[in-house]
Amino acid sequence: MQPGSAQTGGRPQEAKPEMTMIQGFVTPVLKCAFPNCAELNEGLRTLILRMANPEPTDHRSNVGGWHSENDFLKSDDPYVRQLLEWITTAVTGMTQATGGGEIATKGDFTVLGWANVLYPGGYNKAHTHNSYAWSGVYYADTGDDDPADQLSGLIEFIDPRAGVGSPLVPGDPFDQPLYFRPEAGQLFMFPGWLRHYVHPYRGRRPRISVAFNVRWEQRPAKPT
């Protein structure tokens, strides 16, 4: 009788192997939903629309919308201060979830943010933020839904693995889109190198968000 087999009715019965599925090369995307956000959202909406150019522009990845400078989160406005606290909470959560909680205490995070307005037909081209550890976006007002276009205003992430769509695999487990329909008060955070874009927005009201990049730098070691 072969090792690992049992005798049953004169025939060896093979032992079943132990199988473990290992999820390799997982890409984290954090979604946060902040409660009691209506006042903050209205405050951000009022502030950003007052700042924004009402004429659509083509600035960086933003096409058919408006993009502020990268110092928006440095404002002393109380709603911006509150948003920065929420972003900091999300950064802490992402850092801990990805195993960096202890090492993060040996350095400092820097957050840069800018306000975005998408007007009807506006979108964000596919892009990355390769110089930063994390990138993200907070939605203050997601505008109107368009029943005729189920992709209107969705944020979509592009699988970073080369050749993931071929060859054909039963069930097509790899080449699947990852997109979200954001809601006001939600924040998404992801690695800066993850390519992403926003589908054309078909609503009527301006769509308002605050995007941000996060950099971490280790402090120099103290001389001994």
Asked whether residue 81 is domain-assigned, the answer is yes
Asked whether residue 141 is domain-assigned, the answer is yes
Asked whether residue 112 is domain-assigned, the answer is yes
Domain that holds residue 144: 34-160+176-218
What's 137's domain CATH number? Answer: 2.60.120.620
Asked whether residue 1 is domain-assigned, the answer is no
Structural Rg of the chain based on CA atoms: 23
Which residue in 208, 65, 205 sits closest to 146, CA to CA?
205
pTM for the full model? 0.89
Model confidence at 186: pLDDT above 90: yes
Phi, psi of 18 (to 5 degrees): -85, 125
Asked whether residue 5 is domain-assigned, the answer is no
Beta-carbon count within 10 A of 11 CB: 9
The span from the CA of 87 to the CA of 187, in Å, is 8
The span from the CA of 178 to the CA of 215, in Å, is 25
Asked whether residue 180 is domain-assigned, the answer is yes
Asked whether residue 67 is domain-assigned, the answer is yes
Identity of residue 204: R
> How many structural domains does the chain have?
1
Token digits of residue 137 = 């976006």
DSSP 108-138: EEEEEEEEEEEEEEEEEEEE--TTSSEEEEE
Asked whether residue 200 is domain-assigned, the answer is yes
Q: Comparing 130 with 7, which gets the higher pLDDT?
A: 130
Handedness of CA 156, 184, 36, 43 (dihedral sign): positive
- Give the model's pLDDT for residue 222: 81
Model confidence at 178: pLDDT above 70: yes
For 57-75, the pLDDT digits (tens) are 667 788 999 999 999 999 9
Tokens 């972003």, located at residue: 87
Q: Residue 41: left if φ>0, alpha if ψ -120 to 50, beta else—which one? A: alpha
